[in-house]
Amino acid sequence: MDWQELRKEAYNLPVYERLLLVEAIIRSLSNELRPKEPIPDEVWERLRGGLKTDKPSPEDEDIEAMKYERLSEKYLK
């Protein structure tokens, strides 16, 4: 399929599918034009150390309560 045929087919797609096509094209171009450099190991170690805490991990109920509180602040005020 050449470019002209592809363009004609794209016009026949529903809007939602055309948006998905555009997103896929943009992602492919982004990956090709700006390849990601590997992250050095020392960066990962610094990040891991920055996330450490003496507190235990929150329970699922605590996380749900935090999410509810945040969403309430965001949408109910």
Percent of the chain with pLDDT over 70: 97
Q: Is the pLDDT of residue 20 over 90?
A: yes
The arithmetic mean of pLDDT across residues 1-24, rounded, is: 91
The arithmetic mean of pLDDT across residues 44-50, rounded, is: 80
What does pTM read for this prediction?
Answer: 0.42
Q: Is the pLDDT of residue 35 over 70?
A: no
Q: What single string gives the DSSP state of each residue in 34-64? A: SPPPPPPHHHHHHHHHHH--SSPPPPHHHHH
Give the CA count within 13 Å in the CB-facing half-sphere of 52.
6
Torsion of CA 17, 18, 24, 30, to 10 degrees: -160
